[in-house]
Amino acid sequence: MSKIEVDKVDPQSGTTLTLGTSGDTVSIPSGVTLANSGTMTGVPVPTTGIAASAISSGTIATARLGSGTASSSTFLRGDQTYAEAGGGSLTFLNTSTGSNVSSIDINGHFTSDYAHYKLIYSLYAATGNTDSMCRIMQSGSVVTSSNYWYAGMGMYRASGNTSANNTGDNGADKWLISSSDNTADSQYPCTGEMILFNPLSTSQNTTMTTTNLGYNSGSPPNAIRIWTFGGQYVDAAASSGISFSYEGGNINGTVRLYGIKNS
Amino acid sequence: MTMYKLLNGEKVKLTAEEETAKIAEIEQANINRQARETAAADAETKKASGKQKLKDLGLDDAEINALMGV
């Protein structure tokens, strides 16, 4: 085997340099480094043995990840298909946090996508010893007509005793939803959830059920109550929103509204 | 004092009509609160006097508690 020692090999003419002839093998011994700063074409693409960790920069094209149309409104499923987001059956619609305001109103979020809504609330009064309450809104205005029916039952724990409470009305100008003597202590918010049924219906009343934790009027309070209320607004007109407030003054806290998909 | 409500997360000044209604509601709540406190105080007084009458009849605290839960 002869050996040529040169520092550079260039084409004798033109710009193409050929190594070997078809059928030949060009061997690169162990320890030799091929340093490429140019462009290589026709290099076979390896089909196995590529570690995922070898991909350390750039972005893999969406078409390489799955079939279907990748867009801002689709997600890649486990079967490697791009599809519209399922999103589950509960859709977040609004959150409202009030500080020393007369009421916390959420309006204009009811749509035909949902017959039922879930509200999560954590509220405390600006003035102690007062009723927490709810009203529906129609066409953006809080309704104070005496068409509210409600009934509530609670268990009250204080001074070593547990006792039952109940309350109700069938011609009130609001739904009571918790203790009538709530504390204004911010450490003890009235915390609960509510399901609102059919607010947009023009053939059925808007109804609600709610369960929450309430307290008595001390600061700190010395009693705890668990309340469950149910209520209806006797009027087939559509409700556009819901309003939370305290009868004896302003309200603090957060209400979150979710829509429960019809299907 | 100007009164505000929170509507869809935005603080909105109450209309004159809304403010009048809220003030009336607060005044009524104060009346209700006073009535509630008076009723609660009356109930405590009656509970104590009733218990004392039972004691005067010869019942001890355990017997009264077993009977009345007080």
A144 CB-near residues (< 8 Å, 6+ apart)? A135, A173, A174, B21
Asked if the structure places residue A201 within a domain, the reply is yes
What's the mean pLDDT when you consider all of chain A?
92
Q: Closest Cα of chain A to B58: distance in Å?
A: 25
Question: Would you call A247 and B26 a contact, using CB atoms and an 8 Å cutoff?
Answer: yes
Q: Residue A1 domain-assigned?
A: no
The per-residue pLDDT for B40 is: 85
Q: Which of A109, A162, A113 shows the shortest CA–CA distance to B7?
A: A109
Rounded to the nearest angstrom, the minimum Cα separation between B53 and chain A is: 22
Flag if B5 and A102 touch (Cβ within 8 Å): yes
The total domain count for chain A is 1
pLDDT tens for each residue of A120-146: 999 999 988 888 999 999 999 999 999
Residues of B in contact with A106 (CB under 8 A): 8
Q: Is residue A196 predicted with pLDDT exceeding 70?
A: yes
How large is the average pLDDT for residues A8-26?
92
On whether any CB of chain A is under 8 Å from the CB of B65, the answer is: no
ipTM, two decimals: 0.74
Q: Is residue A43 part of a domain?
A: no
Q: What is the mean pLDDT of residues A162-190?
A: 92
Smallest Cβ–Cβ distance between A107 and the set B7, B33, B69 belongs to B7
Does the predicted model carry a pTM greater than 0.90? Answer: no
Tell me, yes or no, if B35 comes closer than 8 A to chain A by beta carbon.
no
Structural contact between residues A253 and A123, judged by C-beta atoms closer than 8 angstroms: yes
- Domain harbouring A168, CATH code: 2.60.120
Decide if A256 contacts A92 (C-beta within 8 A).
yes
pLDDT(A4) > 90? no
First to last CA, chain B: 46
Residue A75 lies inside a defined structural domain of this protein: no
pLDDT in tens, B21-41: 999 999 999 998 899 889 989
Residue B64 CA from chain centroid, whole number:
27
Residue A86: pLDDT band (50, 70, 90) is low
Domain region containing A129: 90-261
